[in-house]
Structure formats: structure tokens, C-alpha cells
Amino acid sequence: MDKNKIIIGLSGGVDSSVAAFLLREQGYEVKGCFMRSFDTETSKRECELAERLASRIGISFEVADGREDFLSEVVEYFLRSYMEGRTPNPCCICNRTVKWPTLMKAMKKAGADKLATGHYAGVGFDEHSGRYYIQRAERIKKDQSYALYRLSQEELSHTVMPLFSYYKEDVRELARRIGLDTADKPDSQEICFIEDGKYQSFIMEHLDMLIPADISGTERKQMLSGLRERVERKGSFVDVNGRFLGEHEGIINYTIGQRKGLGIALGKRAFVKEIRPGSCEVVLSDDEGLYAREALVSDLSFQLLAIDDNLGLSSPEGIEATVKIRYGDRGMKARLSFTDEERNNIRIHFQEPVRAVTPGQAAVFYDDEGRILGGGTIL
């Protein structure tokens, strides 16, 4: 491996392009890598822009094809989550199963020793434990560490994040100074593979992805019809006591904490408190009813905290951490402990009630220094 060579994920945005420029200025031999994930018109334009940016910065460029893995790992997960009444977090899944594996493959192919991204976060190494971890960005307002909690020790050991200490405004100003087209480009807000933001239409149009490829003909048509009926199935709005309030349009249209677009008038503000896919019920409550003191997480992933370390997770008292339950969350103090001897699940007991704990979202654990201990998926 050549320690002077580095691969950077070049998305066509201002952050990754400025990160590439900074790395080149530091003396690295930089190669930009655009990952094809899902074929949309936006993706095609971003790829063309990334290639122009690479030329402007003065680095080489390649396109890596991650479409097959993206479909199987991210899009299918997205579809299944909504059908099971959960709210998915595609970025967390993509980073671990598609983006980093694709960049690692490109890194090895190029004979490079490092890969980089334009995330506002950092990578650290703890001498005591011998483990790598993601560090929360110095500028907390723009911090993107939350979506990176699944990265493995091997991936972290090769990762560089040049924007760790930067303000977004400074990044844009630098982009203007060096003449990059991305200087005033708006930040991406929606899920990258759904251009119009209409999740429900996307789910209906891609249900066939949930049917195994070796099933065809009449059987495939029957399975697809069954999936459509399941998605379109209407159900009941109920209150916390199970009292019928009205009919809803299908559980894929709702998420925990939602108030707007419920399509029901109760004479007072109502929020989605719970989604019950088995009975097709959507439970509504007032805002106060959204608060909880506990959450259960599974599908665990650890960074600074190794699962084999005897650090108290198996004790009734557990360990203390700051927990973020959504991307824009600032975090809440909590105690964490395993719920069983198999160490498959962790129970989070928050110091104060938190609003809208949402199944399917990530709960990410930080220590007092902003280092990621680990995380999991909220049940």
C-alpha cells in the first residue's frame, strides 16, 4: 500500500470536493471515486459534476458501481421497514454495507492506504483499548457522526475525514476561492434514491424487489398482488386506550411523532404514538404521550466500546452514555445495560423523558468526549 495515495468519495457536493482539495494540498496523491448507487436523473447529473470537479481540483477520477449492493442492502431494507411499521434510516445502512465497502475496494485496487469522505466528523484511535472510533465533529451543529456508528474497526483504520473541525460557511468560502461550482450548492435533504420525496409511491412501484428472483410467472404475480394488498390495506386510528377514532390510509403513510397529514379531525392536536402492523392500527395521542424514559435496541454495533470488554453493560447498573435517537438530536444522558446473557439487546434508561422514540431509527451511544461507543436499531 502506498501511504501517499488516497481515495475520496466524491459525490458532486461542496463538502467532498473541498475535502478532496484539502487532501491534495496536504500532499496526497488523490483519486476521486463517485459511487453509482441508484439510477436517477439526479445521480447522473451528480456523476458528471463530480468528474468536472475532479478535473478542476486536479485529481484523477473513477466511477465505482455499487448499484447491485445498494438495491439488496439499502432499498430492500427501506421497503421492508415501512411495511413492518418501522421508520428506516438508509444512510446508516448504506455507509456500512455499500459506501465504505465500495471505497475500500477502490482503495485496494488503486494500491492506496487510505480513503476519505467529506463528512463532518473525525476518526480517532484509543491507545488504551487499541480501538478506532468516530469522533463527533467539533462544530456540533453540522455533526454527521450519527450515521457512521456501524463502521468497522478495519474500515475506520483506513478512514480520513478532513472536515472534522470546519464550519460549513468556511467550506463554502473555500470552494468559492478555488472556483468550485459547488460553492453555493444547497445541501441534500431528501433520501437520495427518492427524487420527489414521495415514499409511498416509491414503495408501491418497487414492491417486486421483495420477491425472490427465481420466482416467476403466475406465482410471482400472485405474490406481488398480495404485497400490494398488504400495503394498501386501510386500518384504524385508535387512542391509547384502544378506542376507535377513524380510518387511516395504510401504515406506510405514517411515522412516530407525525402530526401533519393524518387526515383526521379530532378537535385537538394529535400525534402518531405507535404503529401496530399486525392489527394495522395507528395509535394517536397528545404531545405528552410521545415521551418515554426507556428504549430497547438490537442489531448492535460497537466502536470504542468492545462487546467483550467488562465495562458494566452486563451489570444491573449498566454504564452511562449520551444517546442520540435521531440525526438532529443533541443527545440525552442515559444508562445502558444488556437485557440478556446473549448480549443481543441493550435497554436504554434515559435521565429525562425523550420525545418520539421511533422503531427503525438508530440509537447511537457517545461518551463525555463525543466519541462513539456504539449503537443499535430501536425496537
Q: Is 192 a catalytic residue?
A: yes
Q: Which of 143, 228, 182, 163 is nearest to 53 (CA)?
A: 182
In contact, 119 and 165? CB cutoff 8 Å: no
DSSP string, 244-294: EEEEES-GGG--TT--TT-----SS--EEEEEETTTTEEEEE-GGGGEEEE
DSSP string, 112-128: EEEEE---SEEEEEETT
Report the length, in residues, of the chain.
379
Q: Is 33 a catalytic residue?
A: no
**Who's near 345: CB < 8 A, 6+ residues apart?**
296, 297, 298, 300, 338, 339, 376, 379
Which of 33, 91, 94, 280 is catalytic? The answer is 94
Cell 483504520 sits at which residue? 157
Which of 33, 47, 92, 192 is catalytic? The answer is 192
For the chain, where are the alpha helices, taking DSSP H only?
14-25, 41-57, 67-70, 76-83, 90-94, 100-110, 153-157, 168-177, 199-205, 217-232
Question: From CA 76, how far away is CA 227, in angstroms rounded?
Answer: 13
- Give CA separation, 237 vs 250, 275, 285, 322, 348, in Å: 10, 10, 10, 34, 29
Grid coordinates representing 182 are 459547488
In contact, 27 and 130? CB cutoff 8 Å: no
Question: From CA 57, how far away is CA 32, in angstroms rounded?
Answer: 10
Q: Mind telling me the catalytic residues?
A: 94, 192
